[in-house]
Amino acid sequence: MKGLMVLVRAGVVTTVLLASMALVLWRQSRSLEVLARLDEIRQQTSLAQSEIAELERRIQMLESRGRVVEAARSRLGMHAPEGAELVILPGAAD
């Protein structure tokens, strides 16, 4: 009878040990999946930030006075006003 109890106890201990090892294995594999996803999101964020920086540089270039003056001159036939072409309008009284 005592031998049977020892076998049952050993079986329960072994089962609990295997179950806890399986739980640790699952938790660590889940952690690795989350870390891989986090790395992917960080890469996407970095790429998006570099695209934003590139777009901001492009906006600055397109809005620059030199480019606007050249585009107005070539596309619209505009030119810088000369003295007789300037009209000063009175401002609104505050």
- Whether residue 83 lies inside any domain: the answer is no
Give the integer Cα–Cα distance in Å for 31 and 23: 12
Q: Does pTM surpass 0.75?
A: no
CA distance 20 to 57: 55
Radius of gyration, alpha carbons of the chain: 37
Sequential pLDDT tens for the chain (94 residues) = 788 888 999 999 999 999 999 999 999 999 999 999 999 999 999 999 999 999 999 999 999 999 999 999 999 999 888 888 888 888 876 6
Would you say residue 47 lies in a domain?
yes
4 within domain boundaries: no
Contact between 88 and 82 (Cβ < 8 Å): no
Tally of structural domains, the chain: 1
With tokens 């072409």, the residue in question is: 85
Sequence-ordered alpha helix ranges (H) in 1-94: 2-63, 65-76
Residue 2, in any domain of the structure: no
Q: What range defines the domain where residue 67 resides? A: 12-77
